[in-house]
Amino acid sequence: MYLLDVLIPTYGRPKNAKKAIDSCLDSNDDRCQVICNSNGYEHALECYRASNKNIIYSNFDENQGPTINFSYLLNKTTAKYCMLLSDEDYLDASLLKNFLDYLEGLDSSVSVISCSVFSEESNSYFYSPKIYSDNGMADINEALMLLSIPSYMSGYVFTTSKLKSINLKEIMNPSIANAYPHINITHELLHKGRLSVYKELCVIKGKDVQYGGDAYSHKSNLKQEKKVNNLDMNPYVYGPKALVRQFYYLEKKLYESKKYMRVMPYISAVLLRMFVMHNSIINSDRLVILEMNTTIESELVMGIIDAKNSRDFSGSFFSNFFKYIFYLNPFFVKILYKVIKIIIINIGRIEVKINSGKI
């Protein structure tokens, strides 16, 4: 059995997918296997089919969407751990051995590992997990309270035995609201397990690719659109209505996790995600082209109605309060978010010290 399966869902980006696959194989470490599946036929990736004992490559005949692809890969994994890796990103082959050694030293209480992600474009960390425990471990309270769970897919690692013990079929429900099922999986796994952070360099965020994948798969002519300098991303995922639906879906998942959390961490987790999603929604018109006479406000209302009709509306205080922050001045909301974040982080530090017996 392999120690780690690196799962790479891809579509319409064979050049980048090759880089991602090769970065894993170049480590020449037999503890690691790559499982890659494309949402369509990719001639440039056919060379990997049955080419190496450390890689499994396959493809769907037709595009079935990212969630189905992601679900397929999760069900294929048999290694002790499995890592999610976007086809835009890659691993540092020279440092993969260090990460594999780290995995071998983990105890059985760990169900999720959150890895740092280094950006080659900015030459700085795109994401670095923040927790205050000295041993690099966090329970559900600290993990959710301090946003140690990013929306970015690359760098998530799950303990496979614990992954197989939860209802993946229910969690992997493909819908406009469930754009980040890896977050929902993490919530579920942290109900009974712990999160461990890996802050060392290993996962590299490549340059953003403005064609193919989930973000641009809605474009009919990829070669032509590559030459157009716009960021008209997939409105089904990045439009204001979609983002509203995603907030309510995630808020309901947090509400369901409330019984596993203390009061302050739960409130902190909801507030932080509320303000992060608010910022994404009010800036969404920079990413997608809205139809004529469509406003963010109208999309907000439609998103709330759809959330209620789809039973993704928890009915909690925060689910009802969310819509009212859109009536506030955006600058004021940004300042309010920063103030609340500082308060939450400092309360988080104190609470972690109290629970670890340091105070």
pLDDT, position 10: 94
pLDDT, position 180: 86
Residues 11, 148, single domain; the answer is: yes
H/E run at residue 66: helix 66-76
Residues 33, 129, single domain; the answer is: yes
CB neighbours of 63 closer than 8 A, spacing ≥ 6?
11, 39, 40, 217
Q: What is the pLDDT along the chain (359 residues), one digit of tens a residue?
A: 899 999 999 998 999 999 999 999 999 899 999 999 999 999 999 999 987 889 999 999 988 888 899 999 999 999 999 999 999 999 999 999 999 999 999 999 999 999 999 999 999 999 888 776 767 888 898 888 766 667 888 999 999 999 999 988 888 888 888 888 898 899 999 999 999 999 999 999 998 877 777 777 777 554 544 445 556 788 888 899 999 999 999 999 999 999 999 888 888 889 888 888 998 898 888 888 888 888 888 899 999 999 999 989 999 999 999 988 888 887 788 788 778 777 776 766 666 565 655 55
Burial label, 144 (beta-carbon count in 10 A; 0-12, 13-18, 19+): buried
Strands 156-159 and 137-138: unpaired
Residues 80, 150, single domain; the answer is: yes
Q: Contact at 8 Å (CB) between 191 and 73?
A: no
pLDDT, position 348: 63
Two structure tokens written together for 120: 């080659």
What gap in Å lies between CA 156 and CA 16, rounded to an integer? 19
Asked if the structure places residue 215 within a domain, the reply is no
Asked if the structure places residue 48 within a domain, the reply is yes
What residue numbers bound the domain in which 326 lies?
230-355
What gap in Å lies between CA 272 and CA 279, rounded to an integer? 11
Angstrom CA distances, 219 to 70, 110, 194, 265, 276, stand at: 21, 40, 40, 41, 27
What gap in Å lies between CA 137 and CA 221, rounded to an integer? 46
Which 8-state DSSP code applies to residue 204?
E
Q: What is the full DSSP assignment across 124-139?
A: EEEE------TTSEE-
Two structure tokens written together for 207: 């340059």
Residues 247, 315, single domain; the answer is: yes
Separation of first and last alpha carbons in the chain: 44
What gap in Å lies between CA 39 and CA 202, rounded to an integer? 26
Residues 27, 117, single domain; the answer is: yes
Using DSSP's 3-state secondary structure scheme, residue 32 falls into strand
Which 8-state DSSP code applies to residue 153?
-
Look at the chain and report how many structural domains it folds into: 2
What gap in Å lies between CA 124 and CA 119, rounded to an integer? 6
Asked if the structure places residue 112 within a domain, the reply is yes
Strands 32-38 and 55-59: parallel
Residue-level length of the chain: 359
Residues 325, 243, single domain; the answer is: yes
pLDDT, position 147: 63
Q: Contact at 8 Å (CB) between 134 and 56?
A: no
Residue at 239: amino acid letter? G
- Please say which residue of 205, 238, 262 terminates a domain: 205
Q: pTM of the full predicted structure? A: 0.87
pLDDT, position 158: 97
> Closest Cα partner for 20 from 30, 31, 7, 39?
7
> Closest Cα partner for 188 from 131, 260, 82, 106?
260
Residues 34, 112, single domain; the answer is: yes
